[in-house]
């Protein structure tokens, strides 16, 4: 059931990014809410669930926004899986760790997309502009986690059965 909440949140974010941000002329807004939700899900729910959802939402964004088909989805799923695999066993309920994880995930993800774009010759922005966007995205995503932590720590926490299955015997 909690995965259903995450899917509903991701669909809401997808609709928000594809309609409202475009209508307001904020397509290049300095926040990436899907990274926030997927990174928190990777820490709270595990890397496999979050990576599957990341691949799905990345593919939908590839198709909708006309990016390189599959590259965005693969990079998003890889970053989210690595993040969940590395951090989840250590700290699951600490606000500072969630903020740090989301800020790092935003930096790695957005920086990686910039590098892929430069390698493919499809990124016209100057490095100074990209650096400013990257730092602002990291700041705003960290702030979103800080403000929204109580809500999604309750919505996405594992159920008792998941916890019992994940504990060593």
Would you say residue 153 has pLDDT above 50? Answer: yes
Q: What is the CATH number of the domain that holds 149?
A: 1.10.1760
Which residues touch 33 (CB under 8 Å, ≥6 apart)? 13, 16, 17, 141, 144
Look up residue 159 and give its DSSP letter: P
In a domain, 140, yes or no: yes
Please give the mean pLDDT across all residues of the chain: 73
Structure pTM? 0.68
In a domain, 67, yes or no: yes
Q: How many domains does the chain have?
A: 1
* Predicted confidence band of residue 15 (pLDDT cuts 50, 70, 90): confident
In a domain, 165, yes or no: no
In a domain, 167, yes or no: no
Domain of 133, in residue numbers: 2-159
* Predicted confidence band of residue 1 (pLDDT cuts 50, 70, 90): very low
Would you say residue 75 has pLDDT above 50? Answer: yes
In a domain, 12, yes or no: yes
Would you say residue 6 has pLDDT above 80? Answer: no
Closest CA to 43 of 133, 114, 143, 149: 149
How far is residue 77's CA from residue 47's CA, in Å, rounded to a whole number? 9
In a domain, 166, yes or no: no
* Predicted confidence band of residue 33 (pLDDT cuts 50, 70, 90): confident
């Amino acid at each position: 059931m909690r995965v259903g909440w995450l899917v509903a949140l991701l669909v809401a974010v997808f609709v928000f990014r594809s309609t409202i941000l475009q209508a307001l002329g904020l397509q290049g807004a300095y926040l990436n809410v899907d990274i926030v939700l997927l990174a928190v899900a990777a820490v709270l729910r595990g890397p496999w669930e979050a990576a599957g959802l990341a691949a799905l939402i990345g593919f939908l964004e590839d198709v909708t926004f006309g990016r390189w088909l599959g590259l965005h989805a693969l990079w998003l799923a890889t970053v989210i899986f690595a993040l969940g695999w590395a951090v989840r066993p250590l700290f699951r309920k600490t606000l500072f760790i969630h903020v740090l994880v989301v800020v790092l995930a935003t930096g790695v993800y957005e920086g990686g997309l910039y590098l892929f774009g430069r390698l493919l010759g499809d990124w016209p922005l100057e490095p100074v502009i990209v650096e400013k966007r990257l730092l602002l995205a990291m700041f705003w995503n960290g702030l979103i986690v800080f403000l929204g932590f109580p809500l999604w720590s309750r919505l996405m926490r594992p159920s008792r059965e998941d916890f019992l299955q994940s504990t060593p015997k």
